[in-house]
Chains A and B, each alone.
Chain A
Amino acid sequence: MTMARAVASRRSFLGHSYNLVGVVAALVILAWTLVAIFAPYIIPHPIGDIVDDDYFGPMRQGLWLGSDYLGRDMLSRVLMGARYTVGISLAAVSIACFSGVVLGMAAAVTGGWFDTCLSRFLDAMNSIPSKLFGLVVVAAVGSSIPVLILTLAVIYVPGAYRFARALAVNINTMDFMTVARVRGESTAYLIGSEILPNIIRPVLADFGLRFVFIVLLLSGLSFLGLGLQPPLADWGALVRENIGGLPFAAPAVIVPSLAIASLTISVNLLIDNLPHKIRDRDA
């Protein structure tokens, strides 16, 4: 698949407009990040307040995104939902990528028995479908924010590990690695100062992709009612609680879906439009 990537990256046509797409995507991500941080200060109504006489109200002045199934302000709920969706996903992907990349580099540098066992075990973990893993864990220990973050992180450690290990194995054969070994450097030094700087760019691109996967999985779990529990609501939970508005095409069910899509598509587009070698994986 590395060959496929080398071929695919030669898309030099439309060079300028591609960068424009990347910039727009970056702006959307930045906007959602700001919303996630400042949501409590910018929401027009408290999220629990019933402000509309009607449920599934349409978009109108004062209630810019309509009202939900109880007549609460949808704009405020979506803005607050950004906190949970972005925050939980970011925490989970940070844990997953940090542990996965550190383990992957350590396995590549150490090799031998440690590498084989770890790779075998994590490959086995990778053979559990992600949604199913989430279902089983939630069934076992219940759903709370720390549990969600840890579960999502554990699910995506094997992927991050495999990716980082494959990159690190290539670097490991370089001459400067042999030199560093002969100098008698420790494993921690080899990982942090010799390998990491050489793989950091693709690892960051992988971080972005994994963030998308986690946002999708978290939304899926919340949509099934197994993610964030009421009264908290992330975007997936907002779609779930307002699914009754679907037959009337209420904005309450469409807007949170669009919010998820705008975030995930932007991250994907940003990664697709990163310069040069930093490219996404096909599978």
Chain B
Amino acid sequence: MKSGVLNLVVKRLGIAVVTLLIVLFAVFFATSMLPGDTASILLGQAATPEAVAGLREAMHLNDPAILRFLRWLVGLLHGDLGTSYANQMPVAALIGGRLVNTMKLAAITTLLSVPLALTLGITTAMLRGSLYDRIVTVLSIGVISVPEFMVATLSVLLFAVYLKWLPALSSVNEAHSLTDLVRIYAMPVITLTFVISAQMIRMTRAAVIETLSTPYVEMALLKGASRGRMVLRHALPNALGPIVNAVALSLSYLVGGVIIVETIFNYPGIAKLMVDAVATRDLPLIQSCAMIFCLGYLLLITAADIVAIMSNPRLR
């Protein structure tokens, strides 16, 4: 039976690889659809037709698209992400530090939101129908129903304008002490935590409620186990798979969330870099950033699926 799980996992990983290729292909073609010729954009308006033709030749722009795609792919595997159109710097150098910043933001948000959301999700499932449950449910539906930038603007209004606890903008290079650090990360992390937690609370709550309605939990109730024991000893171990699945799926919302949050708080991360690149139509930069985001997203949803497969007792 063990091999059944292994088979499914390997199959799922294979699908992930194929998906990644299709996604890369889509990103490459979407960005090569840009109207206007790359060579003439690079050389500016004063360029002679001969110079443009020469650059086209040098950049292999006359080759068929599929060949350029493969060349781009090979470059990726060698860690060569190309050169930015805007400032002629290697894309890898532009992305490096920014990626670390974004990862920090994501890591802090994860560390905060996972325990918070799990606690709220599990306790609301235990106290289903209570006032506490209804308040948390209404709030989480509210957060899910509004755009991320609204969560961000409301947090700024509350914490920076009315309470004056925190600055509205963040910039990482000014961190000298721990309090500086807290002030810098607070607004973006608070916003992201709201967005991610709302999803996670809903899914965790649903998963625990589903387990609580199974016969063996009813059995535990009938034999006189306390409510806490019923949930913690009997229901939770079996709800663990769906919960981890929910966590991974919710974390994939980080990808959309950081794009908004980094822009609104002017946080020097990779999403801000990409939004700026879109404004200047800096194709190599857009391609690389898009690729990194798709990769992260794909990793999380694949992880979620694999956890779901592994935690299914019928397959073990």
| A interacts with B | yes
Tell me whether chain B's interface is mostly helix, strand or loop, or mixed: helix
B window 220-268: CB within 8 A of A: 249, 252, 255-256, 259-260, 263-264
Q: Smallest Cβ distance from A116 to chain B, in angstroms?
A: 12
Residues of A within 8 A of B207 (CB): 4
Q: B74-82, B95-103, B107-115, B143-151: which one contacts chain A?
A: B143-151
Cα A253 to Cα B26 with chains together (Å) = 36
Cα A131 to Cα B147 with chains together (Å) = 12
Say if the beta carbon of A182 comes within 8 Å of chain B: no
- CB < 8 Å A-B pair total: 155
Residues of A within 8 A of B186 (CB): none
Selected contact of A220 from candidates B26, B260, B301, CB within 8 Å: B260
CB of B209 within 8 A of CB of A127, answer: no
Could you mark each residue 117-146 of chain A with 1 if its beta carbon is under 8 Å from any beta carbon of chain B, else 0?
A: 000110111011111100111111110000
Ranked nearest first, the 6 interchain pairs of A and B with the lowest CB-CB distance are A124-B22, A139-B278, A264-B145, A129-B255, A124-B19, A131-B256
- Between A130, A135, A254, the greatest number of chain B beta carbons within 10 A of the residue's beta carbon is seen for A135
A window 246-274: CB within 8 A of B: 246-249, 253-254, 257, 260-261, 264-265, 268, 272
Residues of A within 8 A of B278 (CB): 135-136, 138-139, 226
B141 nearest in chain A by CB position: A268
Could you mark each residue 176-197 of chain A with 1 if its beta carbon is under 8 Å from any beta carbon of chain B, else 0?
A: 0000000000000000000000
Selected contact of A124 from candidates B18, B146, B297, CB within 8 Å: B18
25 A-B contacts (beta carbon < 8 Å): A3-B210, A4-B206, A7-B209, A8-B209, A120-B15, A121-B22, A125-B22, A125-B26, A127-B19, A127-B20, A128-B294, A135-B274, A141-B33, A141-B35, A219-B149, A220-B147, A226-B275, A243-B153, A247-B160, A247-B161, A247-B168, A257-B149, A264-B145, A265-B141, A272-B141
Say if the beta carbon of B34 comes within 8 Å of chain A: yes
Say if the beta carbon of B279 comes within 8 Å of chain A: yes
Cα A136 to Cα B291 with chains together (Å) = 11
- The interface size bin for chain B is 35 or more
Q: Using known A-B contacts A4-B206, A127-B19, determine if residue A257 contacts B249 with beta carbons closer than 8 Å.
A: no
B245 nearest in chain A by CB position: A283
CB of B129 within 8 A of CB of A13, answer: yes
Residues of B within 8 A of A282 (CB): 202-203, 206
CB of B286 within 8 A of CB of A260, answer: no
CB of A246 within 8 A of CB of B157, answer: yes
Q: Using known A-B contacts A3-B210, A124-B19, determine if residue A132 contacts B290 with beta carbons closer than 8 Å.
A: yes
Say if the beta carbon of A223 comes within 8 Å of chain B: yes
Could you mark each residue 179-205 of chain B with 1 if its beta carbon is under 8 Å from any beta carbon of chain A, else 0?
A: 000000000000000000000001100
CB of A7 within 8 A of CB of B30, answer: no
CB of A140 within 8 A of CB of B33, answer: yes
Cα A136 to Cα B31 with chains together (Å) = 7
CB of A265 within 8 A of CB of B142, answer: yes
Q: Smallest Cβ distance from A71 to chain B, in angstroms?
A: 21
CB of A129 within 8 A of CB of B145, answer: no
Cα A243 to Cα B15 with chains together (Å) = 43
Residues of B within 8 A of A57 (CB): none
B253 nearest in chain A by CB position: A129
Say if the beta carbon of B56 comes within 8 Å of chain A: no
Apart from A136-B31, A141-B34, A247-B161: 19 A-B pairs, beta carbons within 8 A:
A4-B206, A4-B209, A13-B129, A128-B23, A128-B294, A131-B259, A135-B275, A136-B290, A219-B147, A225-B279, A226-B278, A239-B149, A239-B150, A246-B168, A257-B147, A261-B145, A261-B146, A282-B202, A282-B203
Say if the beta carbon of B27 comes within 8 Å of chain A: yes
Say if the beta carbon of A22 comes within 8 Å of chain B: no
Residues of A within 8 A of B259 (CB): 131-132, 135, 220, 224
